[in-house]
Amino acid sequence: MKKASMILSHLTNQPQFRFLKQQECYKKYISLLGAKYQKAIAFVYIKNDTLFIALTHPGFKMELNYNRDLLKTLLIQLSTLDKSCEMMQASKVAIFHSKHYPMQDQKETESTTVPYYNELASTSFEILSEDKELQEKFEKIKVHIQCNQ
């Protein structure tokens, strides 16, 4: 009986699945970067001799623009040292923010911010208005304050 790793290696060596090898090399490239850059990069790909780097947040763009040479030399070193990633060669680097990648900051703030507070208002106020509609509204406000306490 064949092992799963043997079947997967056979599948990835077929020409129609050559993109799987590229994806693996892209993941290796991102893993070689520091933790700060790993969080900043959503995905990478190479097209027309250009390394495209998609960012998770537009704030990282300036910092990665300053380190283009580092990104390029790391790509060259990966392609020379790892024989399975020889096809990863690029002379230019393009950095952009991915519109399709959701910002992680927004997800975290939406799920973790639930306001917990005690009601500070009290129901001991007099309704001095003579208008029936306003008196009804104030009574509803008293009921809401009572529920929140």
Task: Give the CATH number for residue 34.
Answer: 3.30.300
pLDDT of residue 112 exceeding 70, the answer is no
User: Is 108 part of a structural domain of the chain?
Assistant: no
- Domain span holding position 71: 4-103
Q: For 15, which DSSP code? A: G
Residue 55: C-alpha distances to residues 47, 71, 98, 144 (Å): 17, 14, 6, 46
User: Is 58 part of a structural domain of the chain?
Assistant: yes
Same domain, 76 and 121: no
pLDDT at residue 110 in the model: 56
Same domain, 8 and 56: yes
Give residue 59's identity as a one-letter amino acid code: G
| 3-class DSSP state of 30 | helix
Residue 80 pLDDT level (bands cut at 50, 70, 90): very high
Same domain, 97 and 25: yes
Between CA 136 and CA 149 the distance in angstroms is 20
Higher pLDDT: 22 or 118? It is 22
- Do 41 and 93 form a contact (C-beta atoms < 8 A)? no
Same domain, 123 and 72: no
Higher pLDDT: 149 or 112? It is 149
Number of domains observed in the structure of the chain: 2
pLDDT of residue 119 exceeding 80, the answer is no
Same domain, 99 and 120: no
Between CA 96 and CA 74 the distance in angstroms is 19
How far, in whole angstroms, is CA 139 from its chain's centroid? Answer: 47
From 88, 76, 90, 95, select the one nearest 37 (Cα to Cα): 95
Output the pTM of the full model: 0.61
pLDDT at residue 95 in the model: 94
pLDDT of residue 101 exceeding 90, the answer is no
| 3-class DSSP state of 50 | strand
